[in-house]
Amino acid sequence: MIRILLTCCISFILCACSTHTPKGYVKLIDNRTALKENSQLYVKVPEGTAIIIGKAEPNAGNVDHSSILYPAITPVDFFAAVITHAAITESVKNNKKNQAQDEADMVVIPYRPFIKDVANQALITQLSDIALSRGFHLKPYQESQSDNDIVLDITPIYLLNQKQNTLTLRTQFLVYHRKNETVAPQKRAMLYQNQIEILSPIIQSDNPADYWLNNNGEKLIETMRNLLSETLALGAFQISSNEQAINKGNEQNFRYDDGDIVAFERASIVAEDCEHIVIHTLRGWLKSIPTGRIQGPHPCPNSQEAKINTPMLN
Question: For the domain with range 30-57+105-244, which CATH number is right: 3.40.1710, 3.10.450, 3.20.20, 3.30.160?
Answer: 3.30.160
- φ/ψ of residue 188, rounded to 5: -70, 135
Q: 252-267: per-residue pLDDT in tens?
A: 899 999 989 999 999 9
Span 43-67, average pLDDT: 74
Q: Is the pLDDT of residue 98 over 50?
A: yes
Can you tell me the distance from the alpha carbon of 146 to that of 148, in angstroms, rounded to the nearest whole number?
5
Residue 185: Cβ within 10 Å count = 11
Stronger pLDDT, 27 or 15, i.e. the higher one: 27
The vertex-198 CA angle with 266 and 273, nearest 5°, equals: 75
Can you tell me the distance from the alpha carbon of 226 to that of 288, in angstroms, rounded to the nearest whole number?
13
Q: 77-87: per-residue pLDDT in tens?
A: 434 444 444 44
Can you tell me the distance from the alpha carbon of 68 to that of 65, in angstroms, rounded to the nearest whole number?
8
Stronger pLDDT, 255 or 2, i.e. the higher one: 255
pTM of the predicted protein model: 0.77
Q: Which residues contact 287 (CB under 8 A, 6 or more apart)?
A: 196, 197, 198, 199, 265, 267, 278, 279, 281
